[in-house]
């Protein structure tokens, strides 16, 4: 049979994510050991999480409640019973020889979040942490693997999406929205570098318009959002290349190496899918009561999606600005404080300053938390107000903001002391515009002939002359009047 060789570009990306969320309960999933991160290895263990024979697990009620909160936030259904199962495999990070997880009866099913279907979410326990030291890969080498059982038994919720995602960038953006939402629930630290949020990508391509799923690969080890996007991008490129040369995608698990962008297959025994799942005989099924469900719903704070709705519908800012604020809670809180302090300045104006110039200034200054910035929300509100009322130009506003970020202070006083007040006096501007037209005869001629864009050169000369203090709108009007464009 001759294989059809489709143009690789005509293929669409099909991506589903599996997200492991470490819950920040006080104790582990099935024993009373306290959770810890970064403590002395093997100091938070007991016979249960070390898998000693004859010990019995008990279910952490707080973990169940946290999972119900995640279910509510992702609009999932909660079946009347959920059950634990044993997922059998051998690995040194798993002392019992099986992981207690949920299989065919998960705690949550059938949800939706930011346009992507949620297949299921289930509870399970984390494995211990392995670190490899010395030279590995040699029988007589100095290499060894060390096991820290502190992490073993940490409660996890695994969220599985439908294959609804269509690009690497969408995968990254969606995962960031999910992280911010879970952070708001207060059920996890959601720190990718520390592993409390881990995202695996399932990736395939198919001819555009087809509804059949292609063969997928699974991508692991993407411990930042940037790597998640880059890893998926690299895998999509690899699959497109295979198809373009008439080869086939083989179902396998791949490891992404961010250092050089390569992908290597994991050895087959590391992902053997023969887990022989069977019901965990030592645990009873969990039957969440109506009361527990109601409590979980009531425990939800205002989630980013709801906050975005409120910003659009009640505060009156654009959907884009609302998303950017709502899904970065520190910025949302900053925005709300600035708004409360604003004296008649529009919400749109303040939102623009926060999402635009403030984000950029803090990034330049290497700062992360806007609420800890020397540029307080009150100062930013005053600054946005001066620009909106045309007391200062936008350019001067940026200068003031840079100073606020560096040393704090009162923007009104800065404008006074640095003489930044905007020049809107037509008489004064008129002379400056005249001089600029004289200095830019070529541009002036082009404007006269109807090329409005050439006015930018004249505007630039005016701004240079006034150190950015000229009222841009007034200057534009004067140029038009003088050159008749």
Residues in contact with Zn ion by CB under 5 A are: 31, 33, 46, 48-49
| Smallest distance from Zn ion to CB 59, Å | 14
| Smallest distance from Zn ion to CB 149, Å | 8
Backbone angles phi, psi at 83, to 5 degrees: -135, 150
| Smallest distance from ligand ADP to CB 77, Å | 18
**46, interface contact from Zn ion, ligand ADP, none, CB < 5-8 Å by kind:** Zn ion
| Smallest distance from Zn ion to CB 56, Å | 12
With a CB cutoff of 8 Å and minimum separation 6, the contacts of 372 are none
With a CB cutoff of 8 Å and minimum separation 6, the contacts of 109 are 76, 77, 79, 119, 120, 121
Nearer to ligand ADP, 26 or 166 (CB): 166
- Dig out the tokens for 66 from the structure: 């946290």
| Contact between residue 246 and residue 67 where contact means Cβ atoms under 8 Å apart | no
Nearer to ligand ADP, 119 or 466 (CB): 119
| Contact between residue 24 and residue 131 where contact means Cβ atoms under 8 Å apart | no
**204, interface contact from ligand ADP, Zn ion, none, CB < 5-8 Å by kind:** ligand ADP
| Smallest distance from ligand ADP to CB 195, Å | 20
**33, interface contact from Zn ion, ligand ADP, none, CB < 5-8 Å by kind:** Zn ion
Nearer to ligand ADP, 173 or 309 (CB): 173
Which residue number is nearest to ligand ADP in terms of Cβ? 16
| Smallest distance from ligand ADP to CB 107, Å | 16
How far is residue 299 from each of residues 60, 109, 110, 122, 186, measured CA to CA in Å?
18, 20, 21, 19, 10
- Dig out the tokens for 17 from the structure: 């994510």
| Smallest distance from ligand ADP to CB 413, Å | 56
Nearer to Zn ion, 124 or 471 (CB): 124
| Contact between residue 454 and residue 471 where contact means Cβ atoms under 8 Å apart | no
Q: CA angle, 333 as apex, 399 and 186 as ends, to 5°? A: 140
Nearer to ligand ADP, 240 or 391 (CB): 240
| Smallest distance from ligand ADP to CB 56, Å | 29
| Smallest distance from Zn ion to CB 48, Å | 5
**31, interface contact from ligand ADP, Zn ion, none, CB < 5-8 Å by kind:** Zn ion
User: How many other CB atoms sit within 10 Å of the CB of residue 283?
Assistant: 17
3-state secondary structure of 436: helix
Q: What letters, b where the CB count within 10 A reaches 16 and e where it falls short, cover 20-56?
A: bbbbbbebbbbbebebeeeeebeebbeebbbbeeeee
| Contact between residue 370 and residue 331 where contact means Cβ atoms under 8 Å apart | yes
Nearer to ligand ADP, 249 or 305 (CB): 249
Nearer to ligand ADP, 210 or 417 (CB): 210
- The whole-angstrom separation of Cα 212 and Cα 158 is 26
3-state secondary structure of 108: strand
**161, interface contact from ligand ADP, Zn ion, none, CB < 5-8 Å by kind:** ligand ADP
3-state secondary structure of 350: helix
The residues of the shown chain that bind ligand ADP, judged by CB under 6 A, are 14-18, 160-163, 202-204, 213-214, 216
Nearer to Zn ion, 53 or 484 (CB): 53
Nearer to ligand ADP, 153 or 214 (CB): 214
């Amino acid at each position: 049979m001759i294989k059809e060789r489709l143009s690789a570009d005509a293929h669409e990306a099909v991506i589903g994510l599996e997200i492991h969320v470490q819950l920040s309960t006080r104790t582990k999933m099935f024993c009373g050991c306290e959770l810890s991160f970064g403590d002395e290895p093997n100091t938070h263990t007991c016979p249960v999480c070390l898998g000693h024979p004859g010990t019995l697990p008990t279910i952490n009620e707080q973990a169940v409640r946290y999972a119900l909160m995640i279910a509510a936030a992702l609009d999932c259904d909660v079946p009347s019973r959920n059950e634990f199962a044993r997922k059998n495999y051998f690995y040194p990070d798993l002392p019992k020889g099986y992981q207690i997880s949920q299989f065919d009866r998960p705690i949550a099913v059938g949800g939706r979040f930011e346009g992507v279907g949620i297949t299921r979410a289930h509870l399970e326990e984390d494995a211990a942490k392995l670190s490899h030291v010395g030279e590995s890969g040699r029988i007589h080498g100095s290499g060894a693997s060390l096991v820290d059982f502190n992490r073993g038994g940490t409660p996890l919720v695994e969220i599985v999406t439908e294959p609804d995602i269509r690009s690497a960038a969408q995968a990254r953006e969606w995962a960031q929205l999910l992280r911010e939402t879970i952070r708001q629930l207060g059920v996890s630290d959601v720190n990718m570098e520390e592993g409390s949020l881990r995202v695996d990508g399932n990736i395939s391509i198919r001819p555009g318009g087809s509804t059949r799923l292609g063969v997928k690969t699974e991508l692991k080890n993407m411990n930042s959002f940037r790597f998640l996007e880059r890893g998926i991008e690299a895998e999509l490129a690899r699959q497109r290349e295979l198809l373009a040369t008439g080869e086939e995608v083989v179902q396998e698990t791949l490891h992404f190496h961010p250092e050089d962008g390569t992908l290597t297959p994991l050895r087959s025994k590391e992902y053997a899918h023969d887990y022989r799942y069977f019901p965990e005989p030592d645990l009873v099924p969990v039957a969440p009561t109506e009361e527990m469900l109601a409590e979980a719903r009531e425990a939800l704070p205002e989630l980013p999606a709801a906050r975005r709705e409120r910003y659009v519908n009640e505060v009156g800012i654009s959907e884009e600005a609302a998303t950017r604020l709502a899904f970065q809670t520190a910025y949302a809180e900053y925005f709300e404080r600035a708004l409360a302090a604003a004296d008649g300045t529009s919400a749109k104006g303040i939102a623009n300053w926060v999402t635009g110039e403030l984000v950029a200034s803090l990034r330049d200054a290497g700062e992360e938390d806007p609420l800890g910035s020397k540029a307080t929300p009150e100062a930013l509100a005053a600054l946005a107000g001066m620009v909106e009322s045309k007391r200062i130009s936008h350019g001067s506003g940026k200068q003031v903001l840079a100073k606020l970020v560096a040393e704090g202070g009162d923007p009104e006083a800065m404008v006074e002391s640095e003489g930044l007040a905007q020049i809107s006096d037509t008489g004064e501007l008129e002379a400056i515009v005249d001089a600029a037209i004289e200095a830019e005869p070529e541009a002036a001629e082009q404007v006269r002939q109807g090329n409005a864009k050439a006015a930018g050169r004249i505007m630039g000369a005016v701004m240079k002359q006034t150190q950015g203090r000229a009222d841009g709108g007034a200057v534009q009007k004067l140029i038009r009047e003088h050159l008749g464009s």
